[in-house]
Amino acid sequence: MTATYTRFTNCHLIDNGQLYEFTDLYYNNQTKKISHPPSNPQLVTQTIDLHEQILAPGYIDIQNNGIYGLNYSNLNGGYTEKDIQEFKNFYQDAMAKYLTTGVTATCPTVTSNFPQVYEKVLPFYKKSRLDNQTDSLGAHLEGPFINIKKKGCHPVETFVDAKDGESKLIEIYGGDASLLENVCIITGAPEIPGILDVIPSIVERNIIFSIGHTMSDYKTGCKAIDNGATMITHLYNAMPQPHHRDAGVVGLINSPVVGDDKTPYFGIICDGVHVDPAMANLAYRSNPNKCVLVTDAMHLMGLPDGTYKWDAQVIVKTGDRLYLENTDTLAGAATTLPQCVRNLIQWSKISLPQAVKTVTNNAAVSLGLQKERGFLNIGCDADFVVLDKAGYVQKIYKLGNEIKSSDVKLETKIARDEKISAVL
């Protein structure tokens, strides 16, 4: 069968931190991958006029604990086949909704848990390539090999060490096959006994090791990087704060010791709650090519304000702020990734292309997926967001399938809600 093509025209492209004005882009209708312009113009069977809007790669969220009421960790050994099927349906629905925010791929994040939970949930997060929902890139396992002093809202009864080495890792996460097939990132604290020694075996399985929920000092962080760690989980949060004579984990983002080639990527939550804008700007300016914006979203994202039970704990949601009840402990976030991008533009006084790079190019390279997604290069998937000049997502194309956006300006949403109320 002769391949046919779709052409985007009358648009500006964002890639590599740059804006390419009035540049057309093509994708192959059969493979759903970006392609060169066909030698025969008649093979272009669809032309999409974007009316001078901006086309960028689909956004990638490498840390997200749940969305629209779905908690990615919410299965255990006692669940029945019916429960599992309901979870599957819930997962598919939530991922379809998440796609409307402009996130075309994510790493579903499972917080510290027991082996029977990993055994149940991880198969859902095997890498996918779908046209109607946000893809999974493999799970992000945040814990349970983390430090109790930086536990955040993780349940301490699940915490373990790795004194028994690789075998303990395999036992906790539900077997070696599950790790290889379903996992993209593991967050751990390098000072936990045995963790430094198992980092190489994690990396050998093509899994990213990320430093997080840690009391690690700078020297131990450097050892973790020497052993294969390539990322830091939600910079500043759940780690010692930097001091001018004790840089800690934060100091690794521009360390003269580890060198540019080994400088880790760092996730950062630009919601204005987890990190002060000045500190977010400081981190971004320190190393913009290694900065990856993440939502760290909890399952309460997209739900109304109120009080919600989460296992044995209670979370209070007020706007984008989530706290454990009667404490000042943050319990994840509820801000969308496009809003994080707009926040970074404002805080760091950078351009839209520079900010978009943190959730496309940087995110893809941090996971070694730059040949598949996150760029507008030939051979990458036809996953795109259409943006206006202010960085609001106007529509999404998932493997070429057009999806309506839910990323609307606040005043637009208020006007729409008032109009609906008037009709009712």
- Tell me: the pLDDT tens digits for 90-129? 999 999 999 999 999 999 999 999 999 999 999 999 999 9
Q: Say if residue 245 carries a ligand binding annotation.
A: yes
pLDDT tens column, 221-248: 999 999 999 999 999 999 999 999 999 9
Per-residue pLDDT band at 411 (split at 50, 70, 90) = low
> Do 272 and 310 fall into the same domain?
yes
> Do 234 and 328 fall into the same domain?
yes
CB of 51 within 8 A of CB of 10? Answer: yes
Q: Would 424 be classed as within a structural domain? A: no
Per-residue pLDDT band at 423 (split at 50, 70, 90) = very low
Q: Say if residue 274 carries a ligand binding annotation.
A: yes
Q: Would 69 be classed as within a structural domain? A: yes
Per-residue pLDDT band at 421 (split at 50, 70, 90) = very low
CATH of the domain at 402: 2.30.40.10
> Do 90 and 216 fall into the same domain?
yes
Q: Say if residue 238 carries a ligand binding annotation.
A: yes
> Do 126 and 240 fall into the same domain?
yes
What mean pLDDT value characterizes the chain?
93
> Do 270 and 361 fall into the same domain?
yes
Q: Would 422 be classed as within a structural domain? A: no
pLDDT tens column, 248-306: 999 999 998 887 789 999 999 999 989 999 999 999 999 999 999 999 988 888 888 99
Q: Say if residue 169 carries a ligand binding annotation.
A: no
Q: What is the pLDDT of residue 303?
A: 86
Stretch 128-134: mean pLDDT, rounded?
98
Q: Say if residue 51 carries a ligand binding annotation.
A: no
> Do 147 and 95 fall into the same domain?
yes
Distances, alpha carbon 417 to alpha carbons 67, 421, 423, in Å: 22, 6, 10
Q: Would 416 be classed as within a structural domain? A: no
> Do 325 and 243 fall into the same domain?
yes
CATH of the domain at 330: 3.20.20.140
- Residues designated catalytic: 296
Per-residue pLDDT band at 329 (split at 50, 70, 90) = confident
Number of domains present in the structure of the chain: 2
pLDDT tens column, 32-68: 999 999 999 999 999 999 999 999 999 999 999 999 9
> Do 160 and 31 fall into the same domain?
no
Domain that holds residue 35: 5-57+377-411
Q: Say if residue 380 carries a ligand binding annotation.
A: no
Q: Would 423 be classed as within a structural domain? A: no
> Do 16 and 26 fall into the same domain?
yes
> Do 53 and 96 fall into the same domain?
no
Q: Would 286 be classed as within a structural domain? A: yes
Q: Would 278 be classed as within a structural domain? A: yes
> Do 108 and 189 fall into the same domain?
yes
Q: Would 284 be classed as within a structural domain? A: yes
> Do 294 and 383 fall into the same domain?
no
